[in-house]
Structure 1
C-alpha cells in the first residue's frame, strides 16, 4: 500500500506520477500486497485517472517558473558535497554486467553561513530522465526541475564538532533529490545527512563521467523484500565508507559521531529501514515514511531500537496490513502517526514542486504543501533529537491541539 502509494489525486500531479499528458504509462505503482510486482511500463494502474493537460505558461518558458524549497528551520547553514562510492565486494544486484555496485550520495552538513556556492537541486541529466519517464513527450523544460532553489551550498566550510549521522533513502522510482528538503532541514538542526541514490531503482542517477543510468528495475517483476534488503546493504556500505579509518570516503567525515547513527526513508526507502535495523547494529533508530514493510518486523523485534512510522490515511478505517502486523512486534520506543489530509508523496518535495508549477493538489489532499513539509520535518527531527541527541521531545508524547492533522495510533 505504501511502497509507491497511488491515489486518484496523485494522477493529476506532474512529478508524482509517470503519466504522459497524452498517453498513460503507469501511475506510481498501484497499491499492491507485499512482495507483488509493480505494474509494467505501459500498463495503466487500476485506480488512476488521466493527467490533465499542463498549462502552457508553466511549461514553455523556464523563466516563468521558479520553484523554491522551504527554508530550513535549524540554526545552521547547510553545506552539500556529492560522493561517488564503489563497493568492490558486491556486484550490482540488478545489472550484474555493470560490475561492482556503485552509488551516488549527497552529503549534507552543518556549515558556516556565507561560504560556498549555491547547490543545484539535481543534474540536468537526472532531471531530463525524470521528466521523460513520468511525462513522455512533455514540454516541461529541464531547467525548471534542475533549477529548483535549494538552501545548501557546495564547498561550504563545515562547522566544528561531532554530529549524529542520518542516512536517508528515497522511494522507488524517485531520485534521491525527492527528499532534499528533509535532508537540508536535518542538517540545519545539527545532523550530518547521507542521502543515497539506489542505482537502477530510480528514473536516473548521474555519475561523475556524465552518464545518467536509467531505471533498470522499473517495470521488471521483482520481489520487493529483495529490493528492501538490497537497499539495507547499500546503507550499510555507505556507513562503512563514511566511518572507516584511517581513510573515510568523505573529507569531512570527522564531523560524524560514529556512535549516533539513524536511518529514515520514504516509501521503499522507509520499508528498507526494517532490514537495515536488523542487519546493522550501528543504526540505532529508524523512521518509515509511508512505506509498506515487505520485510516484516520479526516476532523477536528489532533489538529494542526506537522506530517511528508516519503515513497517510487510507480512509474507511483501513490500515496497511504490514504495519498492523509489525506494530505489536516493535520492542522498543515506538510511535505510529497518521497525518490526515495527506497522500503518499506529501512527505517528500513533490507537493512543493507541484505548487511551483501551478498544478492543482490531488483530490482528497486537503493539507497545504508547506504544512505537510512542516509536519514531516518537525516530527522526524523530534524523533532523532530524542533518540540520537537525548533531548526530550514533548511533541512525541501524544496528540496536541497545534497539530490536529496528526493522529497517534493507540
Structure 2
C-alpha cells in the first residue's frame, strides 16, 4: 500500500511503485478523496482538493491520518477476501501486506498499523507523525526515512519531535535512516521532475539519485519483513549508498 502527501496525487509515487512491482510486489497506490488536487472516478466524476482550503491544526491532522487509515482498510477490503473487486486478487498474499507513504501518507502508516492487523509493517517517509503511538507501544516492524533536518534537534522541524516520541514507543524491529542532501520532495517523483525542469529545490542530492536510494531501502525493508530475506543494507552503512545515515536516537548519533 502506498499513500502520497497531502494535496498530491498517487502518481507522485510512480517511481517507487514501479520498482516494487518489478520485484514481484502487488502495489496499490491510493488517491485519497478530496485530498488530491484532482481525482477522477470510473464514472467520470471529478473531485478536487477540498481539504487544501481548510485551516489546519494539530488535531485536524490527527483526524486526517485516521481517515487515511480507514481508506487503507477499505482498499484492502476491496482487494482481498472472497468478494474482491480486482480480478488479480489471487496474486495477493493477505498475510504479507505492508504500507509506505510520503509526508502525511507516511504519518498515516501508524494509524493504519494500529487499526488494521492486516498491515504487517510500515514505512514513514519524511512525515510528521501527528497521531502518537499509544503508550502500550507498537511491535510491528517500522522505518523512519527522512531528510537530515527531520532528525537533527533544533532545526525547527515538527517531525523531529514526533519521531523522538514515537521511536521510544516502537517496541519491535525498527530503523531510523536519513538521506543526506535530501529535501521533502526528494523522496518522490517530484524530485526527478524538478531537476528535469531546471528548477531549484535546494536539495544537495539529485532527484534521480534520491529516487534510486529510496527504492533500494524501501525494497530491502519489504524483502526482509514480507519475504523473510536477510538484507544487511538495513543493518549498517553501505559503501554503495553513502548518502544514507543510520541513526541511534538513544545515543543521538548517526553514522
TM-score scaled to structure 2, two decimals?
A: 0.91
| Cα displacement string for residues 343-394 of structure 1 (whole angstroms, at most 9, x for unaligned residues) | 001110001112232x23322x110111101100000000000000001000
Distance in 1 (CA, whole Å) between partners of 2:141 and 2:231 is 14
Match of 2:145 among 291, 304, 310: 310
Higher relative contact order (CA 8 A, sep 6+): 1
Distance in 2 (CA, whole Å) between partners of 1:405 and 1:258 is 34
Matching of residues 113-128 of structure 1 within 5 Å: none
How much does 1:218 deviate? 0.6
Partner of 2:54: 220
Partner of 1:63: none
Distance in 2 (CA, whole Å) between partners of 1:260 and 1:209 is 32
Distance in 2 (CA, whole Å) between partners of 1:382 and 1:291 is 20
For this pair of structures, how many residues does the alignment match? 240
How much does 1:210 deviate? 2.4
Partner of 1:408: 246
Q: Which runs of 4+ in 1 moved over 4 A?
A: none
How much does 1:200 deviate? 0.3
Partner of 1:361: 200
Distance in 1 (CA, whole Å) between partners of 2:247 and 2:168 is 12
Determine whether 1:268 maps to 2:109: no
Distance in 2 (CA, whole Å) between partners of 1:196 and 1:360 is 28
Determine whether 1:169 maps to 2:8: no
Distance in 2 (CA, whole Å) between partners of 1:355 and 1:402 is 23
Partner of 2:74: 237
Partner of 2:189: 349
Tell me which protein shows more helix as a share of its residues.
2
Stretches of structure 2 that go unaligned for 5 or more consecutive residues are 249-255
Partner of 1:185: 19
How much does 1:310 deviate? 0.3
Matching of residues 69-84 of structure 1 within 5 Å: none
How much does 1:314 deviate? 1.3
**Matched residue of 1:213: which SS?**
strand
Match of 1:299 among 118, 124, 135: 135
Is the CA contact (8 Å cut-off) linking 2:194 and 2:201 kept in structure 1?
no
How much does 1:400 deviate? 2.1
Partner of 1:198: 32
Determine whether 1:321 maps to 2:155: no
Tell me which protein shows more strand as a share of its residues.
1
Is the CA contact (8 Å cut-off) linking 2:179 and 2:245 kept in structure 1?
yes
Distance in 1 (CA, whole Å) between partners of 2:226 and 2:43 is 37
| Cα displacement string for residues 100-146 of structure 1 (whole angstroms, at most 9, x for unaligned residues) | xxxxxxxxxxxxxxxxxxxxxxxxxxxxxxxxxxxxxxxxxxxxxxx
Match of 1:379 among 208, 217, 224: 217
Deviates more, 1:318-327 or 1:336-345: 318-327
Distance in 1 (CA, whole Å) between partners of 2:71 and 2:174 is 25
Distance in 2 (CA, whole Å) between partners of 1:382 and 1:394 is 9
Is the CA contact (8 Å cut-off) linking 2:195 and 2:206 kept in structure 1?
no
How much does 1:313 deviate? 1.4
Q: Which has the larger radius of gyration?
A: 1
Determine whether 1:397 maps to 2:235: yes
**Matched residue of 1:197: which SS?**
coil
RMSD: 1.3
How much does 1:403 deviate? 1.8
